[in-house]
Amino acid sequence: MSKPVVAILVGTRPEIIKVAPVIRQLKKRTIPFIFIHSNQHYTKELDETILSDLKLDRPDYQLRVGSGTHAVQTGKIMERVEKICFQKKVSILVVHGDTNTTLAGALTAKKLQIMVCHIEAGLRSFDYRMPEEINRIITDRISDVLFAPTLIAQQNLINEGIRSESIIVTGNTVVDALRQHQKMARKRHTFKHLSVKPGQYLLLTMHRAENVDDKGKFIKLLELITYISKRLALPVLWPIHPRSLKQLTQFDIIIPPEIIKINAVGYLDMIQLLSNASMILTDSGGIQEEAYILKKPLITLRSSTERPETLSANFVVDTDVDKVDQALQAFRANTIKWGNELGDGLASMRIAAKLEELLEQKEH
Ligand code: UD1
């Protein structure tokens, strides 16, 4: 009988970052695995630079699916992952998060009766307009082992009828990733070519489909960001995601002078930019977590969050000026509080230990 094989599937920038600590743990324990990258993200800044910043080996398989509609992207990933599952006789497929890559991998494996393990299971925004929410719910429903990062995530799964025996609360691997890279990040000369100074800027990331694919909403958000910048008398630094850049061009939107747009940056520079910002404005999931871990005041440019653990320091404002004013008031009054609900930095160790156990069970 051939040895059971674990396959780790990633496709986008946040998946690479958050899975990296798990890959390191697998290597440390000499657990054999294959590393698959769908290349849902493929531009240098979102892919190559991240892989080299993290000093990860090249993936064993690059599926080169690139961009496309949800159906095209998901379909291509499914076809190509299926081929590898057959070729390599994969017995456990590990997916992460909530992207089209996550869903495509989970569906493919489950239909082949391959065990599916989902890292970052149980997050819920309860907003079904988000493609990520659909990806999360379906992936969790068909996963065999659910690595829930927090107790809230665990409860969400139990509320949906998932058997508690299949859930393991691990902490979020984003804590592990940050801890492992902060020291390396400090060596970067991130500010050398920037026009902002450490501690004297607001950091913006914004790329969600629901924010940048609608011209009216996009403009409204840029106005709100300008308002925040003026109220705090600080410039806004925006490392721009390719989706947002494409939409700015397509809608012919000129961004206001308060917002300084730069190319997307690698992970280590991003840690520097996050660590030195006065406040962070985002619609990203991972950045909400990173801001909370780094104890930065945060304004989330969405109507919901799937990270309620961060709410003591995270003002979810969407486009509401009153909510922004409340956030600015708390910021000025210094009343914002941070905890350590997101994890203790050992999530990747717990996940790797469970994968090792599962492999051993499959061997016997
Ligand atoms: C995806 C995830 C989102 C995650 C984000 C992180 C889904 C449904 N969404 O969104 O949850 O927060 O990744 O960045 O999976 N593009 C490039 N180069 C790239 C990648 C994308 O130019 O390397 C542009 C293309 O125009 C593409 C668009 O961005 O059409 C959207 O890319 P896609 O991967 O579909 O979704 P993201 O917005 O990146």
Residue among 107, 243, 247, 289 to mutate when testing ligand 1 (max atoms within 8 A of CB): 243
Question: Which contiguous run of DSSP H or E holds residue 315?
Answer: strand 314-316
Angle at 308 (CA atoms; ends 107, 125), nearest 5 degrees: 40
Query: 41 C-alpha to center of ligand 1: Å?
Result: 6
R_g (Cα) of the chain, nearest Å = 20
62 phi/psi in degrees, rounded to 5: -115, 120
- Is 113 buried (19+), middle (13-18) or exposed (0-12) by CB count in 10 A? exposed
Quick one: pLDDT band at residue 26, thresholds 50, 70, 90?
very high
Question: Nearest to residue 142, comparing CAs of 102, 86, 169, 89?
Answer: 102
For 53-78, how does the pLDDT look when each residue is reduced to its tens digit (9 = 90+)?
999 999 999 999 999 999 999 999 99
Whether residue 364 is predicted with pLDDT greater than 90 in this model: the reply is: no
- Residue 4: its pLDDT value, please? 86
Single-letter residue type at 209:
A
pLDDT digits (tens, 9 = 90+) for 125-145: 999 999 999 999 999 999 999
Residue of 74, 99, 306 best suited for mutating to test ligand 1, as the one with most atoms within 8 Å of CB: 99
Tokens of 218: 């996009």
pLDDT tier at 363, thresholds 50, 70, 90: confident
pTM of the model: 0.96
Contact 268, 183 (CB under 8 A): no
> How many C-beta atoms surround the C-beta of residue 75 within 10 A?
15
pLDDT in tens, 170-216: 999 999 999 999 999 999 999 999 999 999 999 999 999 999 999 99
What does the chain come to in residues? 364
Q: Tokens at residue 136, please? A: 């999360």
Nearest Cα to Cα of residue 7 among 18, 28, 22: 22
Rounded Cα gap, residues 140 and 103, in angstroms:
9
- Which atom of ligand 1 is nearest to 246's Cα? 26
Instruction: Determine the 3-state secondary structure of 117 from DSSP.
Output: strand
Whether the CB of 246 sits within 6 Å of ligand 1? yes
Instruction: Give the residue among 324, 319, 321 at the shortest CA–CA distance from 302.
Output: 319
pLDDT above 90: residue 3: no
**Which residue among the candidates 70, 207, 241, 364 is catalytic per the annotation?**
207
Token pair recorded at residue 14: 């946040």
Give the tens place of pLDDT for each residue, 300-349.
999 999 999 999 999 999 999 999 999 999 999 999 999 999 999 999 99
Q: What is the 130 CA–ligand 1 centroid distance (Å)?
A: 13
Catalytic annotation present for 207: yes
Q: What is the mean pLDDT of the chain?
A: 96
Q: Whose CA is nearest to atom 14 of ligand 1?
A: 13
Q: Which amino acid is at 23?
A: I
Q: Which of 49, 33, 36 is nearest to 10 (CA)?
A: 36
What are the residues facing 239 on neighbouring strands?
A: 262
CB of residue 41 inside a 6 A radius of ligand 1: yes
Q: Evaluate whether 324 touches 340 at the Cβ level (below 8 Å).
A: no
Report, as an integer, the average pLDDT of 266-274.
Answer: 97
43 lines ligand 1 (CB under 6 A): yes
Q: Which of 13, 63, 61 lies closest to 39, judged by CA?
A: 63
Residue of the CA atom closest to atom 13 of ligand 1: 12
305: left (phi over 0), alpha (psi -120 to 50) or beta: beta
For residue 1, pLDDT over 70 is answered with no
Atom of ligand 1 nearest to the CA of 45: 23
Distance 165 CA to ligand 1 centre (A): 34
Cα–Cα dist 333/335, whole Å? 5
> Which atom of ligand 1 is nearest the CA belonging to 68?
30
Closest Cα to residue 235, out of 282, 198, 193, 272? 198
Please report, as a single letter, which amino acid is at residue 192: K
